[in-house]
Amino acid sequence: MVKMTFQLLGQPKIFQDNEEQFFTFAKVSALLYYLVLNGTFQREMAASLLWGNKSTQTAKKI
C-alpha cells in the first residue's frame, strides 16, 4: 500500500513512501493541497480558485 504524507506548515511538501514528490505545474500541487484540507469541492470552485481571471466556461476547459 502506498503511504502519502502531506506537510502543510511552512513550505508545503508531498511525500509518497517517504520520498518527496514534485509536480511540473504549481496549480496541480495547489489543487491537491486544497483537496487534502477540504475533502471535496465542486469543479466550479476549483476553476474559480485556479483561474479566477477567466470565465467559468473557459476555466472548465483548461
Q: What is the pTM of this model?
A: 0.65
SS3 content of the chain, % helix, strand, coil (to 5): 45, 20, 40
State which of 1-15, 24-38, 47-61 shows the largest mean pLDDT: 1-15
pLDDT category of residue 3 using cuts at 50, 70 and 90: very high
Say how many CA atoms lie within 13 Å of 60 toward its Cβ. Answer: 7
Mean pLDDT is lowest, of 5-9, 19-23, 48-52, 53-57, for 53-57
pLDDT score for 26: 87
